[in-house]
Amino acid sequence: MASINFYLGIKKGQETHFLYMYVRYGRNTFKYNTREKLEVKQWNPERQKVKPSVTGAAEINSYLESLEKKIDGIFREYKTQGIIPSVDLLKERMQLKVIEPQDKVTFFSLFEKFLSVSSNSKTYNTVRNYKSLLNHLKNFNETYKYNLDFDKINFSFYHDLVEYCVEDCSMASNTIASVIKNLKVFLKHAEEVGVKVNQDYLKFKVSYKNPERIFLTWEEVKILQKLDLSDRKSWEQVRDVYLFGCYTGLRFSDIEKLKPENVYEFNEGKLKTTVIRIIQKKTKDYLEIALNDYAKEIINKYKGKFTTCLPVISNQKTNDHLKDIGSFAEINSPVTKVEYKGGKRVDTVVPKYTLLTMHTARHTFATLSLQRQMPVEVLQKILGHRKINNTMIYAKIVDSHKHTEMLNVWKKDKNIKGR
């Protein structure tokens, strides 16, 4: 197979430089300009990736990964035919088609092609979000009689689209931010294949608001532990999968793919324990964490019964069952559900069980770990966060919870006179 590397074509006197892909196979070499331009300080030559702190790093790194997969796919295709592709053939296959005006490519026809390309290089959830965006854009186009095309992507369009998201779809602020973010990804792709796009889109604002982190207290976790669900096997399995998330902090996407071959015995010096080793689905980063006794008990309960370690069903069905289980377990403590609609904050007090999802298991693990004095730097590694700022969100939750408990415990008794 080919050896593939990425490097900056540094030219003196220039602040930014083109990023190239360099392919070597046998005595042949092939250089491909990715059309991405970076400063030297933004590129990590050891990891062959754009540094995470750079705006748009995730999208660029994903693009580089798709190029690498494309090269591998070409070589696999020709290998089955017993052919070693020439450099000219490789260039032809890698050449992005430049769209000429006579091709009459429309906004929506190119989006359909974009979806097709993305399905080979993006995760299932990302492609699903792109499909959702396409459906919204089609509905917006019909509702507003917009006749949408690339030359109409201006600030007037941006404000109309945001208004549609708020008024017609009742989207929360973070959902609108995702719509705009994914739209900008598509428009960048359009430019890469030669479509002229109004540059106003580069200034479209993407503003996220940190959602409230719902988590279970240790007392509530123990309620779920002791809950007798022997006559409701589907609930019992969902409960166990959820608790495994509370004990490990793993994302649902990593739990559902966890297999026996990911479980290892760790033996180093006096430390002997069981660990899991995975490549995280979301970040593609390696992660190794030790299994505590609670997590090991659940793993052992289902050992040998399934091809995966745990009996995981779909995320949506899991979340539906969790709300039923939470109601059955009477996890009814009132919590404030915070939403932002049309830029306005809307607070609603609801029973906690109505907000239970698999992701609250991750929040629960992080919050309880900090409450039990786990160093935030260690928690960062276990959660697989690249930036400690993401982990510090949970530290703020713990502080807020601590302050609330302080005020509740020391609430002044009105019957006591004096200072």
pLDDT tens for residues 251-298?
998 999 999 999 999 888 888 999 999 998 877 788 999 999 999 999
Residues 405, 411: Cα–Cα separation, whole Å = 10
Q: What is the pTM of this model?
A: 0.57
Mean pLDDT of the chain: 84
Residue 211: per-residue pLDDT: 59
pLDDT reported for residue 309:
96
Would you list the DSSP string of 269-281?
TTEEEEEEEEE-T
Predicted confidence at residue 97, as pLDDT, reads 42
> Which overall architecture, per CATH, does domain 218-384 show?
Orthogonal Bundle (1.10)
Domain boundaries, the chain: 3-94, 101-203, 218-384
The residue written with tokens 């609108």 in the block is 176
The class that CATH gives domain 101-203 is mainly alpha
Q: For residue 343, which phi and psi values (nearest 5 degrees)? A: 85, -5
Q: Distance (Å, rounded) from C-alpha 310 to C-alpha 214?
A: 24
Using CA atoms, how far residue 40 sits from 11, 43, 44, 237, 291, in Å, is: 11, 6, 8, 50, 40
- Residue appearing with tokens 């070693």: 84
pLDDT of residue 285: 84
What pLDDT score was predicted for residue 175?
Answer: 83
Which pLDDT does position 184 carry in this prediction? 92
Q: Spell out, as residue ranges, where the chain has pLDDT lower than 70.
A: 1, 81-82, 92, 94-104, 167, 207-212, 339-344, 396-419
pLDDT digit string, tens, across residues 24-44:
887 778 788 888 888 889 999
Q: What is the pLDDT of residue 12?
A: 80
The single-letter code of the amino acid at 394 is Y
Q: Return the bridge partners of 43, or none.
A: 50
> Buried b vs exposed e over 137-167: b needs ≥16 C-beta within 10 Å?
beebbeeeebebebeebeeebbebbbebbbe
Same fold: 101-203 with 218-384: no
Q: State the pLDDT at residue 102.
A: 41
Where do the H-state alpha helices sit in 249-314? Answer: 252-255, 293-301
| pLDDT for residue 396 | 66
Residue 71, phi-psi category: left (phi > 0), alpha (psi -120 to 50), beta (remainder): alpha
